[in-house]
Amino acid sequence: MFGKRNKRRLYMAYFRRNPTKKHPIPYHTALYLSPKHPSSDSKSPHTAVFHAINYIDPTLDPPQAVWKFNDEYLNRKPNLKGVVLLGKIDDSISKEQIKEMLKAVYVPEGPITEEMTWRCRDWIYDAVKTLVSNGILTDERLSSSMDEIWNNGYRFLEKKSLEVDTRGRIPCCDLNGREIPCELRPTDTDAK
């Protein structure tokens, strides 16, 4: 019996951000759960983005930057620059089940300090290990080689950023950094 071919895809997504002297990497990293063939209907969000973000918490006195888990449901973020395919997700697993698993992944508590070295990448590594340990992702390399996989994606994306893509697709690679076909397309605002 053959498995279903149009399973959702889970990607490690690289979003463009402004680098700083202390954090020179120009990408924020998130998990990106999308159908194989995403719809262009902007009224019907079909993609889930799971990540750790830092934001100014206005409830602190004075307001300060803190880390928190965040999930969004949308079609596409215009600053998405590339993805690494982590695996296919069985349809029996809901976005809500994945969200509940990921909400339990460690995020530092309290205000962000100058000494803090924890970044969104650290959350990604732990989140992927959580999904592997729960059987959501099955490639064992994801448990032990996330730093290498992240770097493969980073190098792939830096190389692709020097090329002009006339197909209008988001650059996508496998765990080894080799280009693979991808159904994700830029939003209308990406081209502007």
pLDDT tens column, 125-180: 999 999 999 999 999 889 889 999 999 999 999 998 876 555 567 899 999 999 99
Domain-wise residue ranges, the chain: 8-191
**Better-predicted residue by pLDDT, 78 or 96:** 96
pLDDT band for 85, please (50, 70, 90 cuts). Answer: very high
**pLDDT for the residue numbered 104:** 97
Mean pLDDT of the chain: 86
Secondary structure (H, E, C), the chain:
CCCCCCCEEEEEEEEECCCCCCCCCCEEEEEEEECCCCCCCCCCCCEEEEEEEEEEECCCCCCEEEEEEEEEEECCCCCEEEEEEEEEECCCCCHHHHHHHHHCCCCCCCECCCCCCCCHHHHHHHHHHHHHHCCCCCCCHHHHCHHHHHHHHHHHHHHHCCCCCCCCCCCEECCCCCECCCCCCCCHHHHC
Using the predicted structure, report yes or no on whether residue 54 has a pLDDT greater than 60: yes
